[in-house]
């Protein structure tokens, strides 16, 4: 009968225990300099929020593109829109969700999918610094230096123009009201009965995502947001109205009120009737 080699087993257990103590307690593994693409999904959301906040502050779209490319998203615009929707659905700050949606809108209007790496930022930095690069040649010629002084003054508008760039982006201006610029009846049998369509544009007629819309009726009301159906447009939102109910619609940020809205009655070419819809367009002045 063989004896159990207790000495060898105890030695193996002791060695395993010492190895675990050393690897977990004395010198644990530390992950450093990892790429953003390796982050967990919720950490990626925090990373996108930080990028959107930086863009809202600086208006530097190429830098935001370069940072987003590090996440390795197949479609960064869809990823930003989806995150904005999750933030609104989970009750997070509307301003933060609005920044994420505004960055997605800016990328879509720019026509970029953020597939290009950081060299794009180098090109844009060169264009911004172009006025300063033209200054070194003139110093050898004193007469030319005198004529260049007006150009140095002209460079100031370039700098000041780059400073307020965030105001040119489609970031919603909270203090700017919207005007009701369009209201039309839509008779389309392919659409749901009583479909209320809302389109929100900025002053440059760019669609604006993340805008809260308030619809009220006698004894009730609901809120819904633009940008939740990006396949129909970042500034698009819809709501199905109940027949024989009168509604009023306005934007939470401040707008004209579209009042006394009700489902219209439409007629097909063969004489049959059905409930149509309404399309409203709000735009910043």
Residues 161, 201 within the same domain: no
67 pLDDT more than 60: yes
In-domain check, residue 25: no
The residue out of 111, 143, 171 marking a domain boundary is: 171
Calpha distance 256→235 (Å, rounded): 17
**Sequence-separated (6 or more) residues with CB below 8 Å from residue 5:** none
In-domain check, residue 28: no
More reliable by pLDDT, 166 or 10: 10
Q: pTM here?
A: 0.44
246 pLDDT more than 60: yes
Q: Is 57 left (phi over 0), alpha (psi -120 to 50) or beta?
A: alpha
In-domain check, residue 256: yes
Which CATH number covers residue 224? Answer: 2.60.40.1120
Residues 164, 185 within the same domain: no
Q: Give the chain's domain count.
A: 2
**Sequence-separated (6 or more) residues with CB below 8 Å from residue 32:** none
In-domain check, residue 143: yes
Give the CA radius of gyration of the chain: 29
Residues 51, 160 within the same domain: yes
> What is the domain range of residue 89?
35-171
pLDDT at position 146: 42
Widest distance between CA atoms in the chain: 109
The residue out of 140, 171, 202 marking a domain boundary is: 171
Q: For the segment 130-185, what is each residue's pLDDT rounded down to a tens digit?
A: 344 444 454 444 444 444 444 444 444 444 444 444 444 444 444 458 999 999 99
- Beta carbons of 234 and 103 less than 8 angstroms apart: no
pLDDT at position 133: 42
In-domain check, residue 3: no
In-domain check, residue 24: no
Short-list 77, 62, 47, 76, CA closest to 162: 62
Residues 161, 41 within the same domain: yes
**Sequence-separated (6 or more) residues with CB below 8 Å from residue 80:** 48, 52, 68, 100, 101, 103, 104, 107
Residues 98, 160 within the same domain: yes
More reliable by pLDDT, 116 or 86: 86
The residue out of 171, 201, 231 marking a domain boundary is: 171
Region 119-131 average pLDDT: 41
Region 201-215 average pLDDT: 92
Residues 55, 132 within the same domain: yes
């Amino acid at each position: 009968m063989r004896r159990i080699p207790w000495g060898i087993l105890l030695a193996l257990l002791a060695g395993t225990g010492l190895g675990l103590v050393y690897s977990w307690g004395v010198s644990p593994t530390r992950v450093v300099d990892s790429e953003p693409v390796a982050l967990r999904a919720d950490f990626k959301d925090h990373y996108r929020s930080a990028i959107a906040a930086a863009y809202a502050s600086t208006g530097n779209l190429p830098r935001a593109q370069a940072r987003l490319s590090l996440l390795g998203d197949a479609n960064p615009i869809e990823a930003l829109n989806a995150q904005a929707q999750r933030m609104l659905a989970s009750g997070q700050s509307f301003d933060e969700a609005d920044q994420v949606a505004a960055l997605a809108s800016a990328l879509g209007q720019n026509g970029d999918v953020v597939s290009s790496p950081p060299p794009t930022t180098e090109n844009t930095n060169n264009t911004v610094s172009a006025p300063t690069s033209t200054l070194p040649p003139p110093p050898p010629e004193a007469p030319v230096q005198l004529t260049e002084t007006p150009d140095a003054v002209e460079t100031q508008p370039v700098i000041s123009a780059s400073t307020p760039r965030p105001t040119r982006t489609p970031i919603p201006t909270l203090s700017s009201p919207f005007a009701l610029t369009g209201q039309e009846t839509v008779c389309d049998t392919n659409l749901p009965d009583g479909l209320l369509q809302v389109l929100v544009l900025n002053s440059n007629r760019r669609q604006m995502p993340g805008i809260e819309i308030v619809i009220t009726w006698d004894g009730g009301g609901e809120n819904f947001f633009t940008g939740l159906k990006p396949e129909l447009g970042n500034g698009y939102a819809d709501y199905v109205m109940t027949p024989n109910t009168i509604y009023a619609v306005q934007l939470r940020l401040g707008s004209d009120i579209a009042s006394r809205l009700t489902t219209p009655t439409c007629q097909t070419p063969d004489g049959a009737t059905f409930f149509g819809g309404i399309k409203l367009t709000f735009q910043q002045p």
